[in-house]
């Protein structure tokens, strides 16, 4: 591959004869080099091989930010991949790098943005938030700068978002709000203290998250001819009444009408959460 663009001594853009591109990093890899020259791959420490659209965006971003911010973001993403054991969308290399760089600039300028969803993020995305705190530790070790806990919340949302094919971040924020509101409706309806460390609570929250994503994408479980919804409605009347409150909330706030199949699963999860019968 030949050099297509040199960002600085340590970051360059390569392209092959088919114009497939790759951003590479390495100490002194671009020193005294020129476009169209070949690169010494023994000096390459990190490679960014993304789809064409994301490569173009990353090239634009790298042109505007310090190379160390790109390197930091790469280390954080690789760390998150190992800890979460999931595939993350390539889009996170752009969105998270941009976020971290801007957060560092804002901190330097004395501007701190409050994360209004911090409590919900810590509660609903515990593993992602724990990894995000590790990201703050890494940034502090590398740069001697400690970003506030609010930024850990934002970084955690990037991890959550990247697990859902890198959708618009506003989508993930909306899901978080929906999950929080639905969980609160259930708690207030039953007027009981729910063990948030229990397996049933974890199952319930996981179901709500994926349900909310499906709903916003208009991919609700379709109606089944032999639905069991009527049976669970009669067997678990209190869970059914509670489910109707969730249905009303979603219809009023998001103009969404649930299928009987979706309501069936909500009734089952609510019953399991609030009793020992299932």
Per-residue pLDDT tens digits for 29-67: 878 888 888 887 777 887 877 777 777 888 888 888 888
pLDDT at position 148: 94
Beta-carbon-side half-sphere exposure of residue 223 (alpha carbons within 13 Å): 6
Question: pLDDT tens digit string along 194-224?
Answer: 888 887 888 898 889 889 988 998 888 887 7
pTM recorded for the entire structure: 0.70
When pLDDT is cut at 50, 70 and 90, the band that residue 266 belongs to is very high
202-239 burial: b if 16+ Cβ within 10 Å, else e? eebbebbbebbbebbeeeeeeeeeeeebeebbeebeeb
Is residue 79's pLDDT more than 90?
Answer: yes
Task: Supply 50's token pair.
Answer: 């993304």
Mean pLDDT, rounded, for 87-102 = 88
Average pLDDT, the chain: 87
* CA–CA separation, 58 and 61 (whole Å): 5
pLDDT at position 189: 96
Question: pLDDT tens digit string along 236-249?
Answer: 999 999 999 999 99
Residue with tokens 């000096």: 43
pLDDT at position 145: 93
Residues 6+ apart with CB under 8 A from 275: none
Is residue 86's pLDDT more than 90?
Answer: no
Tell me 123's DSSP state: H
204 against 277, higher pLDDT: 204
């Amino acid at each position: 591959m030949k050099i297509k663009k040199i960002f600085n001594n340590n970051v360059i853009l390569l392209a092959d004869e088919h114009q497939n591109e790759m951003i590479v990093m390495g100490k002194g890899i671009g020193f005294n080099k020129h476009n169209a020259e070949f690169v010494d791959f023994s000096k390459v420490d990190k490679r960014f091989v993304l789809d064409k659209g994301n490569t173009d965006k990353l090239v634009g971003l790298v042109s505007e930010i310090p190379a160390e911010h790109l390197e930091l973001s790469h280390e954080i993403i690789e760390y998150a991949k190992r800890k979460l054991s999931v595939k993350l969308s390539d889009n996170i290399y752009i969105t998270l790098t941009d976020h971290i760089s801007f957060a560092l600039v804002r901190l330097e300028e004395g501007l701190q943005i409050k994360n209004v969803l911090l409590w919900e993020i810590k509660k609903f995305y515990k593993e992602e938030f724990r990894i995000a705190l590790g990201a703050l530790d890494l940034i502090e070790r590398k740069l001697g700068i400690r970003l506030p806990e609010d930024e850990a919340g934002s970084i955690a949302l990037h991890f959550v978002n990247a697990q859902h094919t890198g959708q618009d971040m506003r989508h993930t924020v909306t899901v978080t709000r929906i999950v929080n509101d639905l969980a609160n409706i259930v708690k207030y309806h039953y007027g009981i203290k729910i063990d948030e460390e229990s397996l049933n609570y974890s199952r319930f929250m996981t179901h709500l998250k994926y349900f909310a994503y499906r709903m916003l994408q208009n991919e609700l479980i379709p109606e089944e001819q032999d639905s069991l919804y009527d049976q669970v409605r009669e067997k678990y009347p209190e869970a059914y009444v509670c489910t109707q409150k969730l249905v009303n909330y979603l219809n009023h706030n998001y103009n969404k009408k649930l299928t009987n199949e979706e309501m069936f699963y909500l009734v089952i999860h609510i019953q399991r959460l609030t009793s020992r019968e299932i």
